[in-house]
Structure 1
Amino acid sequence: MPPDFLPGLDLSRALYSEAVAPLLRAEHPDLPYAAALVGPGSEVLGLDTARSTDHGWGPRLQLFVSDPGARSRVLELLEERLPERVRGWPVRFAPGDGPPQTWLPDADHPGGHHRVEVVDPGAWFGAHLGFDPRCGVSVSDWLATPTQRLAEAVGGAVFHDSAGDLTRSRQALDWYPDDVWRYVLACQWQRIAQEEAFVGRCAEVGDVLGARVVAARLVRDLMRLALLLARHYPPYPKWLGSAFSRLPDTAELTPLLTRGLDADPAALADACALVGERQNRTGLAARLDTRPRPFHDRPWPVLDAARFATALSERVADPELADRPPVGAVDQLVDNTDALTSPGVFRSLGP
């Protein structure tokens, strides 16, 4: 029987405090390093459940060590002296029977290996983000990096950081500078403005399926917009709804979005209005009237979301952003998993 489930961040913390930290204190007491669980994985976002244990889940963490000689010595120490289990979970992983790269905790498999990654900080950030935030974060870096990757870099937990590099890097990535934030928000409103009138028009000609497709796109964009306004990087689709549900003020908005999925133009307009009020509260742009209004002389309401995009754009002072077309960050521009998970690709696609 497998051990009882506990959140992956708690298991990672136990791996560090009960197994890794005592070894490092005894053998390398003066070594500057950071220990953390960051990067991919539902547990990094705090969204793992017992279902997550069926692949790639278990005791794991990263040790960020700058000195290459020290990395080799630490790896050798871990290979020789890590315990077999932490909190009942095997520390070593072996290939599972599922898809490639499906690894499962297995203390007895002869090909098993632990998942304490000992990595160079710059190399880790380069592989994950495509740039090293220790050298600064440019406008192009912000816009070329998917929000999922940013969420993974600032999520999770840091258990120790005597070197300080990891903490400083996470602080640098914590949230967009205000003008980048304004630009990204403006581009998100622009996406909504381009389609908010289509639901009513599709329904008018009897295209129920088409109306629902457009409505679903609008709901997704509104959820992402609400997260951005709340200073949360939107995660990839599997966890978008879960992340949205954790926002503190969704009780009024969620029913409207649910009705909106049934291609209800009035519900979508009211949802837009609530999100518009959230923008007004940020102070990032001039306050705007959030009451829905007719779309020209047609009989369905809209917010006229382009007004919110314009109000934000008018407050952007950074010359690197002021003249950019309103296409936004890379995951407002493209929606392809293979593109958004490969730094070489998403860096080349960034605006």
Structure 2
Amino acid sequence: MPALKFDLAISDEEGLTEKKEWKLDGKLLSVLDPGTSAPDFCDVDNVPFIPGLDLCERFFFDLVKPLLDKDYPSLEYVACRLGEGSDVLGFDTNQSRDHDWGPKFDLLLEDEQHIDELNTFFSKHLRGKSICGYSTQFQRFTEQDGATTLVNTPDDDESTCHGIRIMTMKQFFVSYLNWQIGTGEPTLEDWLTFPTRIRTQLAYYPKDIWLYLIGCCWQRIGQEEHLMCRAGQAEDELGSAIIASRLIRDVMRLTFLLEKQYCPYAKWLGTAFRRCTTHGSSLEPILQQVQLAQTWQEREQYINQAYERLALLTKEKLSDIIDSTKYSIPSERSQFHGRPFYVINGGAIADIIFAQIENAQIRQLPRIGSTDLFIDNTDAMLSELRLKMKRIFQ
């Protein structure tokens, strides 16, 4: 197989909120004992910054591929960059170099036959090597809070390891999705408990699940759009602003869904919204005005501008699905019952979208969306708890 550089984000944590072990075929690589001093960092101040994806690509083509071509000419593999880290998304900066960053990638094999052998091979042949000024060696550091991270280090001894993670494709899917490839399509419960950040067979959601999630986003907007105004009318501008921020996040997530783009976790949400969606750059200044507004009336004015654009985008993206002779998605604000508030009526839009779902099982689901739509606790999205949440959708 040819070597590929993937920019798929498999996890949007950077390894600081969750204890993870860097394993090859179940064997733990070199780990520092808790309480030991921090490993030496590479002297990055004197090394020009290079985006992590580019560094990993150079690492593969300049150092690793020649070794494989020479000693394993018949080996079939895919080389890619998967996993944690801002570099996976292309959002890394100078600051990113202080942990879990450096020349590394995943080597995916057809079977397990060569995993241990290759690990030993790379340990031997990559020692003392560097690429673009960066060492090929890493050391694991356990911080005071118990979190562990890999640090790129100039050290070259038994406590260091290379950054190539070797596994089969099957091991990869089991490790990240707890899903056995080759055993059939993911179930409905699988789809709705896969965090958005770890998916792509998976290129995107099946149509009916996509519609379900879009409908759930509009449902969320419909549930709170008038509350922002009512809180402000009751002289609670802080409460109104908090509700507005929740609605802004729903607008952003809905934009990602409509454009079928990956939606990262909180730290990179705004960056990805601006850089990775077609409509994010035009919506961003409007949403910023919502947050800067001093009164609920001003807040209402700007957020309805965003709603109206999003309603038009919904019409556009679903034009091949929704029969315009039977359904009309409202794209202009209207008064909320008899109260002096103006809304887009997200609930009505949601009803139209839900009516397009053909799968009876999906139509009967509660209108809450996937787990990462109604839960934003990092620990709750770890695989152990996430798998238990499948019962919600059964």
TM-score by length of 2: 0.80
Q: Deviations 1:34-82 (Å, cap 9, x if unpaired)?
A: 1100122111111111111011100010111232221111111111112
Q: 2:305 aligns with which of 252, 270, 281?
A: 270
C-alpha separation between the residues in 2 aligned to 1:127 and 1:238?
24
* 1:106 aligned onto 2:153: yes
**More displaced stretch, 81-90 vs 177-186:** 81-90
Residues 69-108 of structure 1 aligned to structure 2 (within 5 Å):
69-82=113-126, 84-96=129-141, 100-108=147-155
The equivalent residue for 2:261 is: 232
C-alpha separation between the residues in 1 aligned to 2:343 and 2:182?
44
| SS, match of residue 69 in structure 1 | coil
Q: Is the Cα–Cα contact under 8 Å of residues 336 and 343 in structure 2 kept in the other structure?
A: yes
C-alpha separation between the residues in 1 aligned to 2:261 and 2:281?
18
* 1:215 aligned onto 2:215: no
Name structure 2 gaps, 5 residues minimum: 1-42
Task: Give the deviation of 1:87 after TM superposition.
Answer: 1.4
Pick the structure with more helix per residue.
1
* One-letter code aligned to 2:278: P
* One-letter code aligned to 1:326: R
Paired residues, number: 330
Q: Deviations 1:194-252 (Å, cap 9, x if unpaired)?
A: 10101110001111111111011000111011111111121100010011102223343
Q: Deviations 1:270-316 (Å, cap 9, x if unpaired)?
A: 21111111100012434412100011111121000011111111010
Q: Is the Cα–Cα contact under 8 Å of residues 130 and 344 in structure 1 kept in the other structure?
A: no
The equivalent residue for 1:13 is: 57
The equivalent residue for 2:342 is: 301
The equivalent residue for 1:252 is: 282
The equivalent residue for 1:344 is: 384
The equivalent residue for 1:164 is: none
* One-letter code aligned to 1:294: Q
The equivalent residue for 1:140 is: 189
Q: Is the Cα–Cα contact under 8 Å of residues 58 and 89 in structure 1 kept in the other structure?
A: yes
Q: Is the Cα–Cα contact under 8 Å of residues 133 and 173 in structure 1 kept in the other structure?
A: no
* One-letter code aligned to 2:238: L
TM-score by length of 1: 0.89
| SS, match of residue 79 in structure 2 | strand
Task: Give the deviation of 1:138 after TM superposition.
Answer: 2.5
Q: Deviations 1:104-161 (Å, cap 9, x if unpaired)?
A: 21122531111100112222212212213444322222111111222xxxxxxxxxxx
C-alpha separation between the residues in 1 aligned to 2:152 and 2:51?
15
Q: Is the Cα–Cα contact under 8 Å of residues 144 and 330 in structure 1 kept in the other structure?
A: yes
Q: Is the Cα–Cα contact under 8 Å of residues 39 and 128 in structure 1 kept in the other structure?
A: no
* 1:129 aligned onto 2:177: yes
C-alpha separation between the residues in 1 aligned to 2:236 and 2:197?
34
CA RMSD of aligned residues (A): 1.7
C-alpha separation between the residues in 1 aligned to 2:95 and 2:237?
35
Q: What is the percentage of aligned positions where both structures have the same residue?
A: 30
C-alpha separation between the residues in 2 aligned to 1:265 and 1:199?
8
The equivalent residue for 1:162 is: none
The equivalent residue for 2:167 is: 119
Task: Give the deviation of 1:103 after TM superposition.
Answer: 2.3
The equivalent residue for 2:15 is: none
Q: Deviations 1:83-107 (Å, cap 9, x if unpaired)?
A: 5211111110124585632322112
C-alpha separation between the residues in 2 aligned to 1:79 and 1:345?
35
| SS, match of residue 190 in structure 1 | helix
Name structure 1 gaps, 5 residues minimum: 151-169
